[in-house]
Amino acid sequence: MQKGGLFRLLVCGSILSFAGCTGSVFTPSPILMPSHFIEVDEVSGIPCDETLPVVGDRFMPESMAGGCVLFDCDGDGDLDLYRLRFARGPNGVLECDAGANRLYRQDGPWEFTDITESSNLGDRGYAMGAASGDIDNDGDLDLYIGNLGADRLYLNYGNGHFTDITSEAGIDVEGWSSSVLFVDVDRDGYLDLYITRYLAFNDKISGQDAAGRPEYLPPSRFKGLDDRLLRNNGDGTFTDISAEAGISGHPGKGLGVVATDLDGDGDIDLYVANDGEPNHAWINDGAGHFVESALTMGLAVNLFGQSEAGMGIAVGDLDGDGFDEIVVTHLVHETDTIYRSTAAGHYSDATTTFGLAPATIDFTGFGTALVDTDQDGDLDLITVHGRVLRKSIHPGAAGGEYWEPYAEENHLFLNDGTGKLHLEATGIGHPSGRVEVSRGLALGDLDGDGDPDLVIANADGTIRLVRNVGADGSWLWVLAFDPALNRCAIGSVVEVEAGGKTQRRRVGAGGSYLSCGDERVHFGLGSASKIEVIRVHWPDGTSEQFPVSQVNQVVVLKKGEGA
C-alpha cells in the first residue's frame, strides 16, 4: 500500500469541493460578536466555569438538570442568584456535598458574594427545579426546591437566612420533580405549590447509541408521573390536594409549567409541557379544582396530533392581539411550537405562521422566555439549547470531551412587530463563540440599567450571566404588590398603554425550564416618552389605574392605592 499518496491530494483541497452543497459541514463559522446578549466573563464572586463531576455512564438526570433562580433573597432590592447543582456521591447517592446548591448575593452589577453557608441554602439534593415565593406572606421570598429524591422547602427569615421546613410543612414529595411554581389556585391569599413531575426513573436501566456507546435514555423507556398540587394551609403547612383537585391520575412527563388564564374566565389555570406525552391544560373552576382540557383547547399536541418532547414554556402576547400565545420548546427534529389563542379557550398550532419552524427544527430547546429584549414594544423570544443525544460537534462547542457533542448555540428571535419572529444569527452568546449545553434560563435586570439580562444554567454545572446590550427603547419594571397580603400579587395582570400600544404582562406566570426569574414584570416601550395608562387587574377581579407616566423606572403599584 502506498501511504505516501495520502498527503499529496490533501493539498489539492478537493475535500471541501462539492457542487450543490456549499462547503463542508465542518467548516467553522466565523465568530461574530453577539449583538444583543453577551455572556459576561467579569462576574466576581461566582465561579461560573465550575463544572459538576460526571461519572461517564450517561446518567439520564444529569442531561436534564440545570436550573437557577433569580430572586431578592435579602430584600435589598437587587436580584440574587440561586444556583441549582446536581451531582452523585459515592455509590450513586443523590445527596452529597458535590451537589450542594449555592446562593450568591448581589453586591452590585456583576458582583456577588457566595452566602451559601450563612444562608443555609446549600441543599445537598440532586436539584432539578426551584422557585421562590412568599409562602407565609411575611414580605420575603421563600424557596422550594424540586429534587431527584426528596424535595425541600426553605423558609426565609427575611435577612437572607433560610431554614429547612420541609417536614414541619408536611411536605413529602419524592421521586423526580422538575419545574416548580408558586400560585394561589384557590384565591385564599396564600401561595400554593404546583410541582411538575417527570418520570419514574430507574438507574438500573442503561442506554446505548447505534454504535454501542453509552447514551442518555429516552423518556419513552419510563413511565410518567402525576404532578403534585400542594395547598398552602396558611399556617406554614401544606396539604397534598393533587387527588381532590383533579390533578392525580393523569401521569405525564412534566418539565415546564406556566400559570395563566387559559380559558379567559378570570381565574388561574395551569399549562404543563410534557416530554413525549400530550401536554396538560389544567382548567381551574375558580376554587382550585381542575379539569384536564388540553386536547379540547388545542394545546395537547401539535398540528399533526403528535405529542412532542415538551421542555420549557413561555407565555405572552406575541402579535399584540390581546390574547396570549404559548411557546413550548422541543427536541431536535421537532419544531418549537407556538400555540396561538384564537378565542378564549381555543388555541391552534401556529408555529409556521410565526416563522418559528425552520429555525428551531435543528435544535433541542429547554429554557425559554418571551420578553421585549430590545424594548421596542413587542415580545421577543429567547430559547436556550443543548442536545440530549450526541451529534456532530458544533463549532465552538465547550464542555470538554464529555459535553461537546451535546453543545448547541442559544437563540434570540426578534419580533418584527407583527408577531413574526426572526432569528438573530448573533443574538446571544459569548464573544469567543463558545457554545454549551444549556438548560435553565432566568430573567431579570442584573445590572440595573433597565433592560432584562439573563442567567443561563448549563448541564455541565457551569452558569452564564448574560448582559443585554441590544436594548434601545424606554422601559418600565412593575412590581404589583398587595399590601393586604404583604407580597407580590401573583396572578395579577399589569396593563400598560404607551406609544399607541397596549401591553399586558401576567405576574408570576412562571415558565422557562427548571428556573425562576424576577417577580417584577418588564415592559419595553419603544420610543414612548411617557406612559398613558397603567392598570392592574388584581387576582380578585378588581382593577385599578395608577398615576404613573414616567418611563425608565421601577415602580411598585400597591393594591388599593390606585383609582
For the CB of residue 392, give the shortest distance to other proteins in the complex, in Å: 4
* Cα–Cα–Cα angle for 378, 274, 289, rounded to 5 degrees: 90
For the CB of residue 17, give the shortest distance to other proteins in the complex, in Å: 6
What is the dihedral angle through the alpha carbons of 174, 175, 180, 182, rounded to the nearest 10 degrees? -20
For the CB of residue 306, give the shortest distance to other proteins in the complex, in Å: 6
**Cα R_g (the chain), whole angstroms:** 23
All three cell numbers of 417: 412587530
Specify the DSSP element, H or E, that contains 257: strand 254-260
Q: Which is nearer to other proteins, 333 or 530 (CB)?
A: 333
Q: Which is nearer to other proteins, 347 or 546 (CB)?
A: 347
**Residue-by-residue DSSP string for 376-423:** SSS-EEEEEE--SS--SPPTTB-SHHHHGGG-B--EEEEE-SSS-EEE
Q: Do the bridges between strand 238-240 and strand 228-232 make them parallel or antiparallel, or are there none, so unpaired?
A: antiparallel
For the CB of residue 6, give the shortest distance to other proteins in the complex, in Å: 5
**Residue-by-residue DSSP string for 433-496:** --BB-EEEEEEE-SSSSSS-EEEEEETTS-EEEEEE----SEEEEEEEEETTTTEE-TT-EEEE
3-state DSSP of 483-547: CCCCEECCCCEEEEEECCEEEEEECCCECECCCECCCCEEEEEECCCEEEEEEEECCCCCEEEEC
Q: Which is nearer to other proteins, 357 or 554 (CB)?
A: 357
Q: Which is nearer to other proteins, 305 or 547 (CB)?
A: 305
Q: Which is nearer to other proteins, 19 or 563 (CB)?
A: 19
Q: Which is nearer to other proteins, 33 or 200 (CB)?
A: 200
331: number of Cβ within 10 Å:
22
Q: Which is nearer to other proteins, 211 or 563 (CB)?
A: 211
- Cβ atoms 102, 115 nearer than 8 A: no
- Cβ atoms 297, 281 nearer than 8 A: yes
- Cβ atoms 148, 200 nearer than 8 A: no
* Cα–Cα–Cα angle for 197, 203, 206, rounded to 5 degrees: 115
Q: Which is nearer to other proteins, 91 or 392 (CB)?
A: 392
For the CB of residue 516, give the shortest distance to other proteins in the complex, in Å: 30
CA distance 353 to 360: 14
Centroid of chain to Cα 482: 25
DSSP secondary structure letter of residue 7: H
Name the residues that contact other proteins, by CB under 8 A: 1-3, 5-10, 12, 14-22, 24-26, 200, 204, 208-214, 223, 278, 295-296, 298, 300-301, 303-307, 332-333, 335, 351-353, 357-358, 361-362, 389-393
Q: Which is nearer to other proteins, 304 or 563 (CB)?
A: 304
